[in-house]
Structure formats: structure tokens, C-alpha cells
Amino acid sequence: MEVQQLATQFFPSAEVEFHAQAIASRRDEPWNSLPTSRTNEILAGLCRILTAQKIVLFGIALEKATTAEPVARAFEELCNRFDLFLKRLYAQGEKQRGLIIFDKTRYETRLQTLLTKYRSGGTRFGGVKNFADVPLFTSSASTRLLQLADLVAYALFRRYERGDTRP
């Protein structure tokens, strides 16, 4: 995959995991030993890879201070949007089921329980019917796709927290 090629280009003798915040902040190795121009080049390269792919990623931005149970609310919004996307695909003749994949988190049991609840009783927006299973949780170190999703989450954070729209 192109992400591995980018990693090899900048770090030929080391395995590196891409986390946008770590790259941009340049606080820890291997990022702090690179000049800002190189870390910006890496982030831009990841953005190019992401936009060239035929992948669909969903992100939710919400104001934590004004939201009761922000994790549950964000997950409900995410499930609803993903289910609507799958319904649109179905209407176009694409019979697909969806799977949500997360980086390991302390919310694993809670999110699995919530999706089971949404599948049987629906969300505040209606029923969700197009999920293959409960969310899958894995380490981002084991999959470059989660590392690209991390880039999207970081970009959403920058956009809504700092008004920064740079790629």
C-alpha cells in the first residue's frame, strides 16, 4: 500500500506508525529529529494517499461541554450516518453491510453494547439495519487504514478547534 511506501521512503530501516498529532507536534521520536518541512511533507503525502483512495470515512465533531455523554452521542451520530450511506448504496443496487473499526479504547464494551441497542431499537434518528456486526477494535499499529482514519480525526479536530483548514 502507498502508506507503507511513504513510511519506507522516510524511514527505510525502521517501522513507523503514523499518528497525525505526534507528527505535527514533533515532540517524540522519530518526528522530533526531522525538520518541520519534512513532517509537513509526510502529512501532505498521507493526505494525498487518502484522497486518492476509494474509501469512505466518517467523522463527527461535537461540542463536548454542551453534550451529555459525548462518546455515546458521537457514536450514535456516526452509526446513523454510516447506516444512511449504506442505505443509499443499497438503493443503487450495492448490497453491502458495514463494519465500524476503531483503535483500541476503554469504550470498547460500551460502544459494542450501544450498537447492539441501536440495531434492535434504533437511534433517535431511526433504525440502523446495515451493520454486519458490532464494532471491531484493533491496534492502529497493526493497520495503516486506522492510521489514515487518525489523520482524518486530527484534521477534524484542527478544523473545529483551531479553524485550521490546511491539508
In the chain, which ranges are E strands? 101-103, 136-138
Sign, CA torsion 155/158/159/165 = negative
In a domain? residue 147: no
Query: How many domains does the chain divide into?
Result: 1
Whether the per-residue pLDDT at 10 is higher than 90: the answer is yes
pLDDT tens per residue across span 123-143: 999 989 999 988 999 999 999
On whether residue 95 sits in a domain, the answer given is: yes
Residue 64 — pLDDT band, cuts 50, 70, 90?
confident
Q: Please report whether residue 151 resides in a domain.
A: no
- Name which residue leads in pLDDT, 25 or 55: 25
pLDDT in tens, 77-102: 999 999 999 999 999 999 989 999 99
Distance, in Å, from the CA atom of 128 to the CA atom of 122, rounded to the nearest integer, reads 6
Domain residues for the domain of 84 are 64-142
Q: Long-range CB contacts (< 8 A, 24+ apart) of 117-121?
A: 118/76, 118/79
Q: Is residue 15 part of a domain?
A: no
Residue 120 lies inside a defined structural domain of this protein: yes
Q: Is residue 49 part of a domain?
A: no
Judged against a pLDDT cut of 90, whether residue 164 lies above it is answered with no
**In percent, how much of the chain has pLDDT > 90?**
76
Residue 46 located in a structural domain: no
Asked if residue 82 is part of any domain, the answer here is: yes
